[in-house]
Amino acid sequence: MIEILQGDITRLDVDAIVNAANPSLLGGGGVDGAIHRAAGPQLREYNKTLGGCPPGEARLSPGFNLPARHVISTVGPVWHGGDQGEARILENAYRNSLELALANDIRTIAFPAISTGAYGYPREQAARIALRVMREYEPRFDRIIAVLHSKEDYDLYKRILEEIQGE
């Protein structure tokens, strides 16, 4: 089942929350900063052992002080206008996060709106990619949750999910 929630992803008690990380995996701003603050400094220490992550791939860490059991860090594309393979990289970020979850018996997973903050991906295009991949994987999970920070993004996701479900 796909659920759309408005709020702070760090508060969710799920098997895994996904982080919109940067390739160092050592923390940054936005949702990445919030996740590292809530998980505690052990997340950064652990991630030093992972050796980074290229855009479109995903890596697994423990949740440390988070209510979530795991953090799946993925790196979305930086938006450069749309002709640099951004859509495929964003799709891969969602897909590889979900594949990594399946390989680790994760049945409940929450995603932020990857790449739509500092990385500048247009929100509606990103939402369509996110929700299409989530729908494809929906039967293999108990819960796939999209967590949106703003009411505008929450309304956008609700509208696009309805559109996709009507197809």
Which residues contact ligand ADP by CB under 6 A? 8-10, 20, 30-32, 34, 76, 112-119, 147, 149, 153
Q: Toward ligand ADP, which CB reaches closer, 13 or 140?
A: 13
Q: Give all strands (DSSP E) within the chain, no chain letters.
A: 2-6, 16-20, 58-62, 70-74, 108-111, 143-148
For the bound state, the minimum distance from the C-beta of residue 151 to ligand ADP, rounded and expressed in Å, comes to 11
Q: Which is nearer to ligand ADP, 15 or 32 (CB)?
A: 32
Phi and psi, residue 32, nearest 5°: -60, -50
Q: Which is nearer to ligand ADP, 137 or 157 (CB)?
A: 157
| Three-class HEC string of 147-164 | EECCHHHHHHHHHHHHHH
Count of helices and strands (H, E) across the chain: 5, 6
Q: Beta strand 143-148 with 108-111: parallel, antiparallel or unpaired?
A: parallel
Catalytic annotation, residues: 32
What is the length of the chain? 167
